[in-house]
Homo-oligomer: A and B are copies of this chain.
């Protein structure tokens, strides 16, 4: 099955927002075995939307639209689709009740505009949106599936995960398809590709490898599609083959693999801390709380993470973490000496078994001739051993903060795994 993604909204055409939805959707559809063969964007007019939908349908059997479903007047997708597909509109009690319940819960009166939100094309199958007001809609006409979703990323993602993908998967599954994902951290896509080139070249026709890079991390995904006639044991044979190939791949790059499937780095670290029954804390300067934030995105992290100190200023480093003012004066805040004292201080202040400290120059200000923007020191201390490393990232403040966070989590993870 081939898909075309159509984003609707002037905000994308004028460049006010960068479209991240379609990249997310492409990856999700690819995982489900659906190829995206085109993407397009149109503005908030009926003429543009109709043109966009026709163009998309000329290319693909699946057209997924996002945007233009809000209760405000510039959102006209719903009416335009109803006109185009020759569908009447009707009040949809279930959607109205869902929206009313939400407003009741937050203690606000139900706005009049919500009656419009619950008035939907009768030809559409309604997909309930539990995280917003506009439901998803599923149309099928002349062998083509048209899906309309809200443009707000978490609403789109909710509907894709809970409604669209399960329906698509159940329609598609003729030949078994199996995915296996390996999560890596600390090595770039190009270096990994070089290290596993022979493996990749040796893969059979029916198994494909994809690289899914993020900042500091790369996911490697093996996808197998059963190549022959479908037998009852086809899926389990294919699964075994994929498991073997995954293990083979992992043996080539054991130093960078941190997990399988959808696990995050902070979850992998949390698992190790739980297994070893250790309490963990952070002392952060340039990351400004980002590492603590990553750790506490994991449900249940309070079991191993009692807290953190963000010590942005010299004074905080001294006062809250006990860093010697002379250390700061002699070596500077971004130095091996300082991060080691910060990590040791965090163990005492937070009363934890192991702590990581990060201090660096995120930019754009703060650099010196020998410490350019992107210089980041980090140290880990468990009361018996210490480890400090220096990184030189790039010039972008946000990326430096994020990369420092990822590398700090990985430093602790590797430190713990090296322990006897």
- A→B interface (CB under 8 Å): 9-20, 22-28, 30, 35-44, 48, 51-52, 55, 59, 70-75, 105-108, 111-114, 131, 133, 152, 154, 179, 181, 189-191, 193-194, 200, 208-215, 219, 221, 223, 282, 284, 287-293, 295-297, 299-302, 305-313, 315-316, 319-320, 349-351, 363-365, 392, 394, 396-399, 401
A37 in contact with B55 (CB, 8 Å): no
* Most chain B CB atoms below 10 A, which of A11, A16, A213: A16
B309 in contact with A310 (CB, 8 Å): yes
The listed residue (B19, B36, B211, B302) touching A312 by CB distance below 8 A is B302
Measured CB to CB, the closest approach of chain B to A334, in angstroms, equals 13
A154 in contact with B399 (CB, 8 Å): yes
The main secondary structure of chain A at its interface with chain B is mixed
Q: How far is the CA of A315 from the CA of B351 in the complex (A)?
A: 9
The listed residue (B27, B72, B154) touching A14 by CB distance below 8 A is B27
Measured CB to CB, the closest approach of chain B to A233, in angstroms, equals 23
Q: How far is the CA of A306 from the CA of B333 in the complex (A)?
A: 13
Measured CB to CB, the closest approach of chain B to A316, in angstroms, equals 4
A293 in contact with B296 (CB, 8 Å): no
A210 in contact with B74 (CB, 8 Å): yes
Measured CB to CB, the closest approach of chain B to A391, in angstroms, equals 10
The listed residue (B190, B200, B401) touching A296 by CB distance below 8 A is B401
